[in-house]
Amino acid sequence: MTDADASSRTQDRDTSSRTTSSPTKDANGGDVFADAVRRLDTAGRHLDIDPEAIERLKHPRAMLTVSIPTRMDDGSLRVLTGYRVQHDNTRGPTKGGIRYHPEVSLDEVKALAFWMTCKCALIDIPYGGAKGGVIVNPKELSRLELERLSRGFIQQMADFIGPDTDIPAPDVYTNAMVMGWMMDEYSKIMRRRVPDVITGKPIPLGGSLGREDATGRGGYNCITRLSHRLGKAPADTRVAVQGFGNVGQSAARLLHADGYRVVAVSDSQGGIYQPDGFDVPSLIQFKNESRELKAVYCSGSVCEMINAATVTNEELLELDVDVLIPAALGNQISTANAARIRAPVIVELANGPTTSDADPILNERGVLVVPDILANAGGVTVSYFEWTQNRQGMSWSIDEVHRRLQAKMVSAFDTVYDKARHEEISLRDAAYAEALTRLGAAISAQGTQSYFEQPN
């Protein structure tokens, strides 16, 4: 896969945002999954929820590790390792992306599956959480090798997934083309066409309009709703975006069109900053054509350089802005830098950009964090729409998809925001509390100790 292929991939975010690294340790050296589930206990303190529900959610229901023999173009054989984790299916079939990255690990996949369970419950769609990954650097593979790997992954996973069981989607370094291969391979194994086994597919193969920018658009819906609740005008709101891949670009483009000032953006090589704001469409055009991020103004096919300061990804996080959007790496805000974050609002479009140890520091300083399980839920929401359309044999218009997505995101945001204000807790605790309430009700409906110890 070339750099251009990687940059243009469709991200499900059934994850979040574009991630260029997949660390298995948090910024403080702890396991990512252990750090993720700590938030269960934190949120559980605000709930009247059966302890069995909390205990159940600390343990993925199923994990599968497979070997994928893949023939290289030179005739050699590489045996790659793949994972699929199904975290919880109490509320419906599990759902989550598949990532290709050299640093994929089982611990990371478990954490991402857990977040997906919470995300689906919070946004109130009938899914549980799952995630998958292959340990590979896709940039080292030809397109034919990538196809063989993708089909081989499905051959090994065919008995573990299904449209009523577990529905994969694209994620880091996978895209619509990869999902099309996977759907086709599964259909061959089943000897019938099964479009609803995979989401994030190409439009001609049953994909949904509105999928490509769904995660960024969902985050944009949260920001505009928060601005409304706080009475903050777009023109008075300075925004910094860490991560200028598909998700970061989509959010920045929509915010710019509404009049927000996007004053800083970055990619894996570093960032640029201009207090007056950038012409975001020009940045996107130049970035996607050249694979470089520079301060430019483009008119048609001609782009001219403009003055801007260069910043590192670390410096971008600490800029004096009104809204900070981490849309790239996980574990970017930790105890090492939380005290230096100057933005009063953080909107997490990446998965797990803030460690659990950093949350108390941000809360004490009054920083409002729109958590990842809310802010980046747009991707899995539109994936649900795609699955629904496939099962109904229907195709919705782009306006219908956008309308339904906005309704879902605004409803979830208002529920979390009102709960946080009423109970005087953080938005993250409120989001997890709402998700756990729904998950706890579903688990309790199957019977827990408090039910079984009662006399007949």
pLDDT per 10-residue tile (average), the chain, 456 residues? 36 39 46 84 78 90 98 98 97 97 95 95 97 96 98 98 97 94 98 97 97 96 97 96 94 98 94 96 93 88 88 96 93 95 97 92 97 97 97 96 98 97 94 94 86 82
Let me know: does 91 contact 120? Beta carbons within 8 Å: yes
Residues recognised as catalytic? 131
pTM as predicted: 0.89
Residue 395, burial from CB neighbour count under 10 angstroms (0-12, 13-18, 19+): middle
Q: Give the whole-angstrom CA distance, residue 226 versus residue 131.
A: 30
**So what's the pLDDT on residue 340?**
97
- Tokens at residue 433, please? 């509390």
Contact 52, 443 (CB under 8 A): yes
Other beta carbons within 10 angstroms of residue 396's beta carbon come to: 19
Tokens of 396: 């919705």
Q: Return the DSSP state at 333.
A: B
CATH architecture of 3-31+59-197: 3-Layer(aba) Sandwich (3.40)
CB 305 within 8 A of CB 298: no
Closest CA to 293 of 275, 317, 314, 311: 311
- C-alpha distances in angstroms, 345 versus 155, 161, 301, 391? 44, 38, 36, 39
- Domain 214-375 in the same topology as domain 3-31+59-197: yes
What is the reported pLDDT for 452? 86
**Measured between alpha carbons, how far is 132 from 105 in angstroms, rounded to an integer?**
10
Q: Would you state the pLDDT for residue 25?
A: 55
Residue 50: the pLDDT is 85
* Cα angle 153-14-132, degrees, rounded to a multiple of 5: 25
Question: In the numeric block, which tokens belong to residue 418?
Answer: 């009102």
Instruction: Give the DSSP H/E element, type plus range, for residue 436.
Output: helix 427-444
Both tokens assigned to 117: 């369970």
**Helix or strand or coil: residue 152?**
helix
Structure tokens at 142: 């030809």
Map out the domains of the chain as residue ranges: 3-31+59-197, 214-375
Contact predicate 125/380, CB 8 Å: yes
Residue 401 near residue 385 (C-beta atoms within 8 A): yes
DSSP state of 11: P
Domain 214-375 has CATH 3.30.70.20: no
